[in-house]
């Protein structure tokens, strides 16, 4: 057995397992059933509590706001699968980046709504629940954004830092709010957070905005304006790499070193000694680590520290060198005693370009497969995952997507989304779908029709037959014979159609007339589905013809039913009895040949039946009377027919 | 112009515009949705208003806002506005419910329920459709009953037991006392409530395969013209005065057609939505109106709205009725939704506004339908 990555956490189930009762459990598709057994370690056995507990790991699936996430991302997922293989890779990369951005915007939209709800709700526990979900989504978006920058966009040295700067700026929005607060106040330069804002802007590399804020101060006092001008000059001349420009990386590197040396010179000359804030800023520009560490509160996270550090010491960082700086930044920022959070470890793995570790850690940390499934799928499309075969045959992407979709299937409503996910798992998707689709509860016909459409589109004939049979059986139980028949027609289930016909015929022999005439009169080509059904239809037609007084047609039909052996044996007596009134008519309806055939049928019937010991004498009497009557009628008819046919019309 | 989409965290089974008072010539602003397949289903009222001022992106102007909602027991199988303030719903538990909408749309309350209107002897039978012509309501269900109610009376007015041996999927009023139902063995049955007997006045069906029919709608001006849609996605136009064959058979969709609607004020336009995720807008391109077109027959062509190729785009059309100069009379269809979604379960169209709901839990509102 594999080693366990983390210690499993204990979940307490209230009300179960008390008094040293043993718990039994059973796995379900998305949850666990737990119950108390009769077994006890010590003491006499006694009955356990009557409850069965359902333990569900994923509570996100029940959140109405997160449902939007599932639905919108489903649309994006399906769109992603449709991207054709033959498009050149450069175009594909931009497509993948835009898809990644789509996913992220969906996450952000969800987050905003959760945030609004958390603020506006009255219920305290609900507010904290929303708050938790917001923080999880924040973390997810952070990780996704980093993966997009490092793996999907895969920026080379130079642009890499710019993307990382964007990433940090996006996830530290309080700088903007504080800056706005300061600028909108009466005297911005005297605001208590003024210098914090300036330093935060510099830490994020937003030199233009920093200059703008600094100018407020510079205009105040004339005597120190030269110092401010110097700082302004430094900030203005800071080189920023332009990926679409003509400047190469080496040229930029040279320029940057010059600028760096100039900043260093300012520091050595004590140019900013008069103003300690400006001195701090200059130290930051030089990339002094201790100064940067002093700004822990403004940086607030080790990855911000990492990016700032790189900005001011090594802006031409190459992707493979990233991990060294990442590790050291984390250690420096967090200090020797602090232990990193799971999020920190995941980000570190990302910086180390260890995709599998990122996915693995995310899978453990989150209670829902949504994030890992979609991210892995996207990365797989970018061809970034090696075909990493797991023990049970499928690859990582398929495994995660299958897990996610199976989780969706356990939801009473979201199961429809899962179908598309299964479709795009080439190896096991179909099997999973076949097993799961049969277990969707079918309350209404409309739902059954939708499920059937899913099965029919994928040629899952077994499932179609089984579902139609369930619906037909239910209809039969409720005496809806027409519905039952339409279900068996859909499944092309001849056996069930036979069953339904038997039921009709049973009703007929009990009541003496047919029920559901609208169905029987309008069977159409469906009649051919089963022999018994054909008989039923034709028999009903016979009754109709008789009712319309079209006796010769009725007679022909009746005879054909018997001779073509469509009629079941046990009904021959009934059919012959039906023939009786036709035989008794004044005019001759059955011809000589037809009469002979009827007689042979009667004899066949009598010879076939064996004396039934259970039959009472009364039944025997009735049977023999019937036979007598029939024989008499047939004989008379034969006589009349011979005479009629023998007569020459003049 | 693309429709505005809003995800509402519940699968939508029906969407209906609230009727606008005929005196005011305005666009409809309020619509109702019903959900299905949830543990707790809801009937919700939404408003789409032109806010005037645009927000960050101009697109979010017209996103529907939730006004109020109410719990609904069982799936919402059908939803109809009885009048401006009252909404009738058909439930999968067999109940027919009247909801009352407060005048300022602030709350939705239960006015009256007919519990278990549709039932089996030992089980619940879903009520599949309900239709209103104030003050009368007619409901049909999987138990094959047709039930007539009056909105203000507690007791049911009339029940036609065993009207059908199979499930009745939809119903529509032809005249004040006549309704037309469609069932799952492909029959249209006309019922006249003035007659005492419990048998239909007329039965129409296609010869050939008995395909279940799911939806029916009557031409707004001409009571004998009726459109139906079925399991195979075929759109049939019938003249109920004449015989057993439909006037026209058109291959509209590749899967079940859930709803078909004539535009109430401009009947040259027809809208259909289907399980295959598309919503089609059919219009005649020739000068003649649809009724004369029906008498002469037409060819039709499916035109894609956004250039996305679809199944059946190149299929030639099945027309059961071809006569004379039919090449002049064309019926064109355009897709109203930008891309293929999960099943579009319902649509409603009033004036220039179209609303539809999908199984992808999204409501689409289109405010400038070219009619």
The verdict on residue B293 lying in a domain is no
Segments forming the whole domain that contains residue A52: 22-57
Q: Mean pLDDT of all residues in chain A? A: 85
Angle at A235 between CA A231 and CA A241, to 5 degrees: 160
Of B9, B120, B343, the CB nearest to A67: B9
C-alpha–C-alpha distance, residues A285 and A49, integer Å? 69
Residue partners of A436: CB distance under 8 A and separation at least 6: A29, A406, A409, A415, A418, A422
- Give the residue carrying structure tokens 């038997």: A502
A71 touching B (Cβ < 8 Å):
yes
The verdict on residue A296 lying in a domain is yes
Residue of A nearest to B127 (CA): A444
C-alpha–C-alpha distance, residues A191 and A130, integer Å? 34
* pLDDT reported for residue B286: 55
* pLDDT reported for residue A457: 93
Q: Do B143 and A478 lie within an 8 Å CB cutoff?
A: yes
Residues 500-529 of A with CB under 8 A from B: 515-516, 518-519, 522-526
* pLDDT reported for residue A63: 83
Instruction: Name chain B contacts of A65, Cβ cutoff 8 Å.
Output: 9
Q: Which of A46-50, A158-162, A223-227, B318-322 has the lowest mean pLDDT?
A: B318-322
Helices assigned H by DSSP within A247-321: 249-268, 276-286, 289-294, 296-299, 302-313
The verdict on residue B193 lying in a domain is yes
Q: Residue A493, by phi and psi: left (phi above 0), alpha (psi -120 to 50) or beta?
A: beta
Task: End-to-end CA distance of chain A: give it in Å, rounded.
Answer: 103
* pLDDT reported for residue B138: 95
State yes or no: pLDDT of A42 exceeds 60: yes
* Interval B231-257: pLDDT, tens: 999 999 888 887 677 888 888 999 999
Q: Do A478 and B205 lie within an 8 Å CB cutoff?
A: no
Contact A159, A243 (CB under 8 A): yes
Q: Do A518 and B9 lie within an 8 Å CB cutoff?
A: no
Number of structural domains (chain B) is 1
Q: What sign for the dihedral angle of Cα A593, A596, A602, A605?
A: negative
* pLDDT reported for residue B310: 34
Q: What's the Cα-to-Cα distance from B147 to each of B121, B126, B196, rounded to whole Å?
A: 17, 13, 14
State yes or no: pLDDT of B56 exceeds 70: no
Q: Do A449 and B256 lie within an 8 Å CB cutoff?
A: yes
Residues 201-240 of B with CB under 8 A from A: 203, 205, 207-210, 212, 231
Instruction: Name chain B contacts of A480, Cβ cutoff 8 Å.
Output: 142-144, 165-167
C-alpha–C-alpha distance, residues A294 and A279, integer Å? 13
The verdict on residue A72 lying in a domain is no
State yes or no: pLDDT of A602 exceeds 50: yes
C-alpha–C-alpha distance, residues A366 and A577, integer Å? 76
Mean pLDDT, rounded, for A351-380? 89
Higher per-residue pLDDT: A391 or B139: B139
* Interval A479-508: pLDDT, tens: 888 888 888 888 888 888 888 888 888 888
What are residue A427's phi and psi, to 5 degrees? Answer: -85, -50
Confidence band of B329 (pLDDT split at 50, 70, 90): low
* pLDDT reported for residue B303: 40
Task: Classify B350 as helix, strand or coil.
Answer: strand
Contact A81, A424 (CB under 8 A): yes
Q: Do B38 and A412 lie within an 8 Å CB cutoff?
A: yes
Indicate whether A171 and A300 sit together in one domain: yes
Q: Mean pLDDT of all residues in chain B? A: 83
Residue-wise DSSP of A413-481: TTHHHHHHHHHT-TTTHHHHHHHHHTTS---SHHHHHHHHHHHHHTT-HHHHHHHHHHHHHHHHHTT-H
Mean pLDDT, rounded, for B34-43? 93
State yes or no: pLDDT of A359 exceeds 80: yes
Q: What sign for the dihedral angle of Cα A30, A36, A39, A41?
A: positive
Indicate whether A285 and A181 sit together in one domain: yes
Higher per-residue pLDDT: A575 or B9: B9
Residue of A nearest to B230 (CA): A449
Residue partners of A568: CB distance under 8 A and separation at least 6: A532, A535
Q: Do A453 and B256 lie within an 8 Å CB cutoff?
A: yes
* pLDDT reported for residue A8: 74
CA-closest candidate to residue B80, choices B11, B152, B134, B7? B134
Q: Indicate yes or no: pTM above 0.95.
A: no
The verdict on residue A143 lying in a domain is no
Q: Do A67 and B126 lie within an 8 Å CB cutoff?
A: no
Q: Do A522 and B123 lie within an 8 Å CB cutoff?
A: no
- Give the residue carrying structure tokens 């920190």: A344
State yes or no: pLDDT of B315 exceeds 50: no
The verdict on residue B81 lying in a domain is yes
Q: What's the Cα-to-Cα distance from A391 to each of A1, A48, A286, A639, rounded to whole Å?
A: 12, 40, 52, 86
* Interval A71-118: pLDDT, tens: 999 999 999 998 876 667 677 888 899 999 999 999 999 999 999 988
The verdict on residue B309 lying in a domain is no
* Interval A274-333: pLDDT, tens: 888 888 888 888 888 888 888 888 888 899 999 999 999 988 888 888 889 999 998 888
Sheet-wide strand order for B353-358: B4-7, B362-366, B353-358, B344-350
The distance between the two most distant Cα atoms of chain B, rounded to a whole number of Å, is 63
* pLDDT reported for residue B88: 95
- Give the residue carrying structure tokens 């169209």: B349
Q: Which of A552-556, B48-52, B67-71, B330-334 has the lowest mean pLDDT?
A: B48-52
The verdict on residue A13 lying in a domain is no
* pLDDT reported for residue A46: 64
CA-closest candidate to residue A307, choices A422, A93, A140, A162? A162
The verdict on residue B11 lying in a domain is yes
The verdict on residue B132 lying in a domain is yes
Q: Do A486 and B203 lie within an 8 Å CB cutoff?
A: no
Q: What percent of chain A has pLDDT over 70?
A: 92
* pLDDT reported for residue B96: 95
Q: Do A522 and B203 lie within an 8 Å CB cutoff?
A: yes
By CB atoms closer than 10 A (0-12, 13-18, 19+), residue A111 is buried
Predicted ipTM? 0.88
Residue partners of B259: CB distance under 8 A and separation at least 6: B215, B229, B271, B272, B273, B345, B346, B347
The verdict on residue A381 lying in a domain is no
* pLDDT reported for residue A210: 87
* pLDDT reported for residue A186: 80
Indicate whether A531 and A597 sit together in one domain: no
Of A72, A79, A445, the CB nearest to B142: A445
Which of residues A266, A298, A317 is at a domain's end? A317
B123 touching A (Cβ < 8 Å):
yes
* Interval A193-233: pLDDT, tens: 888 888 899 898 888 888 888 887 766 666 567 888 888 88
B200 touching A (Cβ < 8 Å):
yes
Higher per-residue pLDDT: B307 or A623: A623
B306 touching A (Cβ < 8 Å):
no
Residues facing B148 on adjacent strands: B138, B158
* pLDDT reported for residue A623: 80
Of B203, B210, B342, the CB nearest to A524: B210
Q: How far is A368 from chain B (nearest CA, A)?
A: 18
Helices assigned H by DSSP within chain B: 290-296
Q: Do B11 and A413 lie within an 8 Å CB cutoff?
A: yes
Confidence band of A622 (pLDDT split at 50, 70, 90): confident
Residue of B nearest to A485 (CA): B166
The verdict on residue B180 lying in a domain is yes
Indicate whether A277 and A184 sit together in one domain: yes
Of B38, B77, B144, the CB nearest to A480: B144
Indicate whether A508 and A644 sit together in one domain: no
Q: Which of A8-22, A245-259, A628-642, B120-134 has the lowest mean pLDDT?
A: A8-22
Q: What percent of chain A has pLDDT over 90?
A: 24
C-alpha–C-alpha distance, residues B99 and A347, integer Å? 53
Residue partners of A488: CB distance under 8 A and separation at least 6: A468, A469, A472, A494, A496, A497, A500, A529
* pLDDT reported for residue A48: 63
State yes or no: pLDDT of B292 exceeds 60: no
Contact A262, A234 (CB under 8 A): yes
State yes or no: pLDDT of A142 exceeds 50: yes
Task: Calculate the CA B263 to chain-centre distance.
Answer: 11
* pLDDT reported for residue B99: 94
Instruction: Name chain A contacts of B341, Cβ cutoff 8 Å.
Output: 75
Contact B340, B308 (CB under 8 A): yes
B341 touching A (Cβ < 8 Å):
yes
* pLDDT reported for residue A521: 78
Higher per-residue pLDDT: B3 or B1: B3
Residues 268-287 of B with CB under 8 A from A: 275
Confidence band of B312 (pLDDT split at 50, 70, 90): very low
Instruction: Name chain A contacts of B165, Cβ cutoff 8 Å.
Output: 480-483, 515-516, 518-519
The domain that holds B162 is classified in CATH as 2.130.10.10
The verdict on residue A420 lying in a domain is no
Which of residues A489, A507, A538 is at a domain's end? A538
Sheet-wide strand order for B234-239: B213-218, B225-230, B234-239, B248-251
Indicate whether A553 and A507 sit together in one domain: no
Confidence band of B118 (pLDDT split at 50, 70, 90): very high
Q: Do A445 and B167 lie within an 8 Å CB cutoff?
A: yes
Number of structural domains (chain A) is 4
Q: Which of A268-272, B22-26, B118-122 has the lowest mean pLDDT?
A: B22-26
Segments forming the whole domain that contains residue B12: 4-20+27-51+60-285+320-366
Residue partners of B229: CB distance under 8 A and separation at least 6: B213, B214, B215, B216, B235, B236, B252, B253, B256, B257, B258, B259, B260, B272, B274
The verdict on residue B105 lying in a domain is yes
Which of residues A317, A335, A366 is at a domain's end? A317
């Amino acid at each position: 057995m594999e080693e366990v990555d983390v210690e499993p956490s204990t979940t307490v189930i209230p009300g179960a397992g008390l008094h040293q009762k043993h718990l039994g459990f059973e796995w379900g598709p998305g949850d666990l059933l737990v119950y108390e057994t009769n077994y006890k370690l010590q003491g006499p056995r006694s009955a356990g509590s009557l409850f069965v507990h359902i333990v569900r790991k994923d509570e996100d699936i029940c959140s109405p706001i997160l449902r939007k996430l599932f639905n919108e991302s489903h649309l994006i997922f399906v769109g992603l699968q449709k991207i054709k293989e033959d498009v050149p890779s450069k175009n594909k990369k931009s497509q993948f980046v835009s898809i990644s951005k789509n996913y992220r915007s969906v996450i952000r939209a969800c987050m905003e709504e959760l945030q609004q709800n958390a603020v506006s709700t009255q219920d305290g526990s609900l507010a904290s629940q929303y708050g938790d979900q917001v923080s999880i989504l924040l973390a997810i978006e952070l990780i996704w954004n980093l993966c997009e920058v490092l793996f999907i966009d895969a920026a080379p040295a130079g642009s890499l830092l710019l993307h990382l700067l964007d990433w940090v700026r996006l996830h530290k929005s309080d700088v903007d709010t504080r800056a706005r607060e300061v600028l909108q106040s009466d005297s911005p330069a005297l605001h208590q957070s003024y210098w914090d804002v300036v330093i935060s802007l510099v830490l994020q590399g937003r030199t233009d905005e920093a200059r703008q804020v600094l100018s407020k101060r510079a205009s105040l006092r004339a005597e120190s304006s030269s110092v401010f001008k110097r700082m302004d000059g430094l900030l203005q001349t800071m080189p920023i790499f332009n990926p679409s420009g003509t400047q190469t990386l080496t040229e930029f590197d040279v320029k940057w070193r010059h600028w760096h040396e100039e900043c260093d010179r300012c520091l050595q000359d004590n140019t900013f000694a008069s103003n300690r804030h400006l001195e701090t800023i200059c130290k930051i520009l030089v990339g002094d680590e201790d100064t940067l560490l002093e700004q822990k509160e403004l940086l607030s996270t080790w990855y911000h520290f990492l990016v700032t550090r790189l900005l001011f010491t090594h802006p031409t960082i190459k992707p493979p060198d990233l991990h060294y700086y990442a590790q050291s930044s984390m250690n420096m920022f967090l200090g020797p005693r602090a232990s990193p959070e799971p999020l920190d470890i995941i980000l570190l793995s990302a910086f180390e370009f260890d995709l599998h570790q990122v996915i693995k850690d995310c899978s453990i940390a989150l209670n829902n497969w949504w994030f890992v499934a979609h991210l892995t799928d996207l990365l797989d499309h970018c061809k970034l995952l090696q075909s990493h075969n797991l023990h049970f045959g499928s690859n990582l992407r398929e495994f995660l997507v299958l897990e996610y979709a199976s989780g969706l299937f356990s939801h009473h409503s979201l199961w429809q989304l899962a179908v598309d996910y299964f479709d795009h798992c080439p190896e096991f998707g179909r099997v999973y779908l076949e097993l799961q689709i049969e277990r969707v509860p079918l309350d209404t016909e409309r739902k059954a029709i939708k499920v059937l459409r899913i099965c029919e589109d994928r040629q899952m004939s077994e499932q179609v037959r089984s579902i139609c049979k369930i619906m037909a059986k239910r209809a039969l139980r409720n005496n809806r014979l027409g519905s039952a028949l339409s279900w068996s027609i859909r499944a092309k289930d001849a056996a069930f159609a036979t069953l339904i016909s038997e039921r009709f015929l049973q009703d007929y022999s009990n009541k003496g007339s047919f029920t559901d005439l609208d169905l029987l009169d309008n069977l159409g080509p469906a009649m051919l589905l089963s022999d018994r059904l054909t008989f039923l239809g034709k028999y009903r037609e016979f009754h109709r013809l008789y009712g319309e007084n079209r006796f010769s047609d009725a007679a022909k039909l009746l005879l054909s039913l018997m001779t073509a052996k469509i009629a079941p044996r046990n009904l021959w007596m009934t059919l012959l009895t039906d023939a009786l009134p036709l035989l008794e008519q004044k005019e001759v309806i059955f011809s000589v040949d037809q009469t002979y055939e009827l007689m042979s049928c009667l004899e066949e019937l009598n010879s076939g039946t064996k004396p039934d010991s259970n039959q009472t004498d009364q039944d025997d009497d009735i049977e023999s009377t019937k036979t007598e009557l029939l024989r008499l009628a047939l004989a008379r008819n034969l006589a009349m027919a011979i005479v009629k046919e023998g007569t020459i019309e003049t | 112009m693309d429709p505005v989409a809003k995800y509402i965290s519940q699968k939508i089974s029906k969407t209906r515009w609230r009727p606008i008072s005929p005196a005011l010539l305005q666009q409809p602003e309020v619509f109702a949705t019903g959900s299905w397949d949830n543990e707790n289903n809801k009937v919700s009222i939404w408003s789409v208003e032109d806010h005037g001022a645009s927000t960050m992106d101009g697109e979010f102007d017209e996103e529907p806002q939730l006004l109020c909602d109410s719990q609904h027991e069982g799936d919402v199988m059908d939803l109809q506005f009885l009048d401006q303030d009252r909404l009738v719903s058909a439930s999968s538990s067999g109940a027919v419910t009247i909801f009352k909408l407060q005048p300022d749309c602030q709350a939705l309350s239960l006015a009256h329920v007919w519990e278990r209107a549709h039932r089996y002897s030992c089980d619940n039978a879903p009520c599949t459709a309900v239709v209103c012509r104030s003050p009368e309501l007619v409901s049909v269900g999987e138990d094959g009953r047709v039930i007539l109610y009056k909105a203000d009376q507690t007791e049911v007015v009339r029940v036609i037991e065993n009207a059908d041996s199979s499930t009745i999927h939809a119903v529509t009023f032809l005249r004040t006392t006549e309704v037309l139902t469609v069932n799952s063995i492909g029959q249209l049955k006309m019922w006249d409530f003035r007659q005492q007997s419990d048998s239909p006045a007329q039965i129409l069906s296609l010869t050939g395969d008995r395909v279940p029919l799911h939806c029916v709608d009557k031409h707004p001006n001409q009571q004998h013209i009726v459109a139906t849609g079925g399991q195979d996605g075929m759109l049939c136009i019938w003249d109920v005065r004449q015989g057993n064959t439909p006037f026209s058979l058109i291959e509209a969709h590749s899967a079940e057609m859930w709803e078909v609607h004539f535009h109430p004020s401009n009947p040259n336009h027809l809208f259909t939505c289907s399980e295959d995720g598309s919503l089609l807008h059919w219009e005649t391109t020739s000068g003649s109106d649809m009724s004369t077109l029906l008498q002469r027959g037409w060819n039709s062509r499916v035109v894609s709205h956004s250039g996305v190729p679809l199944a059946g785009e190149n299929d030639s059309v099945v027309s059961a009725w071809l006569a004379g100069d039919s090449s002049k009379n064309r019926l064109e269809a355009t897709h109203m939704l930008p891309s293929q979604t999960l099943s579009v379960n319902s649509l409603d169209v009033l004036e220039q506004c179209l609303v539809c709901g999908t199984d992808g839990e999204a409501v689409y509102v289109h405010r400038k339908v070219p009619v």
